[in-house]
Amino acid sequence: MTQDTLLTTNANSNELATREGGVVIPVIEEYLTVSKRVEEHGGVRVVKSVVTEEATIEEPTVREAATVERIPINRMLERDEELPKSRREGDTLVIPIFEEVVVTEKRMRVTEELRILLTRTETVTPQTTTIRRETVHIEPITVNE
């Protein structure tokens, strides 16, 4: 301001009067400052534990056994007869056994058959084993303010 300007304050307002009769209105500006901070208000605790338990497993198992029965045949094959082949008769596997015999001429003779009876048994054998399982518990944690 210059020296010849006289400022007076009006008591009822924030206006300032000058000697020339003009009015000066002050302009006010506010500033806002924002800041942040981290506050802990709580949390969780995760507790994991392993639980073991005994379990019985009943799974069938298969076992095969063979019984061999020898049946004498002693039959000479005819001159152009084919050799008998192995065959199945139900659960029995029949395997012919051959022998060459010297005669005036050579011919095949069936000496015996093997009869193999296959039997199948199924048994359930309980077995006990340990099985592990994990469990999780979540516990809230509060912070006193």
pLDDT tens figures, 85-143: 999 999 899 999 999 887 677 778 999 998 989 899 999 888 888 888 888 888 888 77
Write out pLDDT tens, residues 44-95: 888 898 889 998 888 888 888 889 999 999 898 988 999 999 999 998 999 9
* Statement: residue 7 has pLDDT above 70: no
Q: How confident is the model at residue 32 (pLDDT cuts 50, 70, 90)?
A: confident
The SS3 call for residue 88 is strand
Q: Compute the distance between CA of residue 23 and CA of residue 29 in angstroms, rounded to an integer.
A: 19
Give the predicted TM-score (pTM) of the model: 0.37
Beta bridge partners of 123: 61
Q: Compute the distance between CA of residue 25 and CA of residue 7 in angstroms, rounded to an integer.
A: 12
Nearest to 53 by CA among 144, 143, 135: 135
* Statement: residue 3 has pLDDT above 50: no
Q: Is 21 left (phi over 0), alpha (psi -120 to 50) or beta?
A: left
What residue spans define the domains of the chain? 8-27+40-58+126-142, 62-124
- pLDDT given at position 86: 93
Find the mean pLDDT for residues 15-40. 79
Q: Compute the distance between CA of residue 9 and CA of residue 16 in angstroms, rounded to an integer.
A: 5
- pLDDT given at position 85: 93
Q: Compute the distance between CA of residue 9 and CA of residue 24 in angstroms, rounded to an integer.
A: 10
